[in-house]
Amino acid sequence: MVETVVFETDDYSALDSLDSFRLSSYLCDVVLVSKDGQRFPAHQMTLAAATPFFPSLFTENRLETFRTQAVISIPDVDAEILKKLIEFAYSGKAACLASVQSVRSLYVVASSLQFNHLVQLCRDWLRLHVDSSTCLDLAILANQYDDIDLIRVCDRIAAVNVVRLSDSEKFLALSVDHLERILCQDDLGVRSEDDVLSLLRTWLKRDEASRRDDVVKRLSKCIRYSLLDFDESIGLLSNLDLVSHYESSSLTTSFSYRRRVGCEGVLLVAGGIQTKREDSDVWTLTCEAKTYDANSDSWTSFPSLATATCRNKIVTSFDELYALGGDSVCEAGGKTYGETDVVQRYDAEGRRWVDDVTPMSRRRDGYEIVCHDNRIYGMSLAWDFGVECEVFDPARGTWTPVSSPSRDQAFDFFSSRYILFSQARHIFAIGHAWRREIGCMQYDPLENRWLDKKSFPGAYEKTNSAWNTHQVLDPFFCHYASMGERLYILPHYESSTAVVFDLNERFSLVENFSPLRSYAGDFFERNCGLAGDPDNNRMYLMGSKEREKQLAVYDERSKKWDVRKCEWNFPNKRDCAVVDRNLMLNFV
């Protein structure tokens, strides 16, 4: 058998030469003309490889491959955007002003010319930068191009800000389909269900003759009639011809609700280790829980946990709070040991925590718990039994074993602990192996199986160098928060570099990320935790610097931290659970 030898290099790129040929018009065989008459020489083969639009265009115009600069008009495209598209075809890069209007224009043209990779990049950027001023326009755009993810983001932001938007011309011009999508959401920014009736009345006034049937037949389904006080709402119900709908709903509609919105920055801090005096070395576990409103810098008492734990994980499932795992024993000096299998549930009606839930099959700490599709997954890694996974079904109140990675697969990948991240249809386990290799494994709940691991070559060395610690991605030595499609991981020690893992399985480092730069170690030393608020593109980091309580708010759009004094009325405290705004909306 004759062996084959393969020669390859990372330094070779024909596109670099082709781009220089384009800029000097060397061997160019086509000229694209924008709607304002500007001419752009290019190569047919390069354009045809970048998008399926051009091969069909060249065929229609019967261009010969080496015909000297055949001219093709692109009549609906501005010169500036056409130039960006050609540059993207040659380099995979397109520079654009960082504004919704500019990216939107690029998105529209890239879609029409089938630059699919660029379209996806524009979609990703727009989803991150939607706000209340652009959500209605971008939802219409997304609907035209069947961009389901962008529609979902736009509609959610519109729902949260619906009362403020109702005064705008854009709201009055909404189609019945668009308004129905907004009003049917649980996360609707209304104080009471009466506000929904008022919104319908405002929209109806624009064109009562043609819209009244839409209100009665379609939009009436968006109203949660069980939340209305009939005596208070009779006037609006009569005006909208919905009295009969209210009366029939009492027979057919079960209890429904709206999640409370508009309380941006609300966090829950629960459990943990604390000392009653700043100068004391005696630490104790606590059941105490409080909510914090970053807007007003105010604390409100919340029912205490039933069992004192630290490092537990609080998740929500079917609109109920669960506190799982953690450590249940505390020694002098704040050292802890003794993982617990206790599962606590918050009884919203009785406003108390109870620990009558079926415990986990093994003791686990909270960093190995994740909620996915309203089911809670617990994962353990130990020398005696390898990796073991189970799932808790709140509807049945039972834990059931699920597929686990093989023992060899698990110990080849996970050296000690790992971080769990739920996104889309998969659960990601992110960690590093004994041979200093960072990677991730995916669990598919629908198929109940683990997929092959993916490695990130060189990531361990870069992270270890930036963090100056061997505790890379160990959840006991870092803090992390989910921001929609991204997971941010911040080091516990002095470092200003964060790790970001995204839904496309990309692993990257973000330098100069610390809220206090060179004082990162001080800020993280007694850190209470990190929480994400993806709806508002913010993260909240709670900690102290030189014994002064601080709150750092990170705006993902501006890439800036706002560090402010924080008037905590907590005792000195650490290793507690910090839960973000989205989870808390039903309970504060």
Q: Are residues 44 and 187 in the same domain?
A: no
Q: Are residues 466 and 533 in the same domain?
A: yes
Any long-range contacts for 123-128 (C-beta under 8 Å, 24+ apart)? 123/147, 123/149, 123/150, 126/100, 126/150, 127/153, 127/484, 127/485, 128/484, 128/537, 128/556, 128/557
| CA distance to 224, 226, 227, 248, 257, per residue, from 253 (Å) | 9, 7, 11, 8, 12
Closest CA to 433 of 414, 418, 452: 414
Q: Identify whether 381 is part of a domain.
A: yes
pLDDT, position 199 = 92
Q: What is the pLDDT of residues 79-138, one digit of tens each?
A: 888 888 888 888 888 888 878 888 999 999 888 888 888 888 888 888 877 877 889 999
Measured CA to CA, the distance from residue 23 to residue 221 in angstroms comes to 59
pLDDT, position 181 = 93
Domain stop point among 225, 252, 279: 252
pLDDT, position 365 = 55
pLDDT, position 521 = 46
Q: Are residues 204 and 275 in the same domain?
A: no
Q: Are residues 9 and 40 in the same domain?
A: yes
Q: Identify whether 145 is part of a domain.
A: no
Q: Identify whether 261 is part of a domain.
A: no
Q: Are residues 487 and 532 in the same domain?
A: yes
pLDDT, position 140 = 92
Q: Are residues 240 and 170 in the same domain?
A: yes
Domain stop point among 220, 252, 284: 252
Measured CA to CA, the distance from residue 271 to residue 4 in angstroms comes to 62
Q: What is the DSSP letter of 180?
A: H
Q: Are residues 214 and 282 in the same domain?
A: no
Query: Which parts of 433-574 are beta strand (E)?
Result: 438-444, 449-450, 454-455, 478-483, 486-491, 498-502, 507-510, 529-533, 538-545, 548-555, 560-565, 572-574
Q: Are residues 519 and 432 in the same domain?
A: yes
Q: Identify whether 444 is part of a domain.
A: yes
Q: Kindly report the CATH number assigned to the domain that includes residue 78.
A: 3.30.710.10
Q: Identify whether 187 is part of a domain.
A: yes
pTM above 0.75, yes or no: no
Q: What is the pLDDT of residues 228-261, one digit of tens each?
A: 877 878 888 888 888 888 877 755 544 456 655 4
State how many domains the chain has.
3
- The residue type of 22 is R
- Helix 100-112 with 79-91: angle, nearest 10 deg: 70
Domain stop point among 50, 70, 95: 95
Q: Identify whether 18 is part of a domain.
A: yes
Closest CA to 488 of 417, 556, 408, 567: 556
Q: Identify whether 123 is part of a domain.
A: no
pLDDT, position 586 = 43
Closest CA to 286 of 264, 269, 263, 262: 269
Q: Are residues 326 and 411 in the same domain?
A: yes
pLDDT, position 163 = 83
Q: Identify whether 152 is part of a domain.
A: no
Q: Are residues 234 and 356 in the same domain?
A: no
Q: Are residues 248 and 272 in the same domain?
A: no
Q: Are residues 214 and 331 in the same domain?
A: no
pLDDT, position 410 = 60
Residue stretches of the chain with pLDDT short of 50: 5-7, 9, 12, 65-66, 253-255, 261-263, 366, 383, 517-526, 581-588
Q: Kindly report the CATH number assigned to the domain that includes residue 425.
A: 2.120.10.80
Could you tell me the residue range of the domain that residue 55 belongs to?
A: 1-95
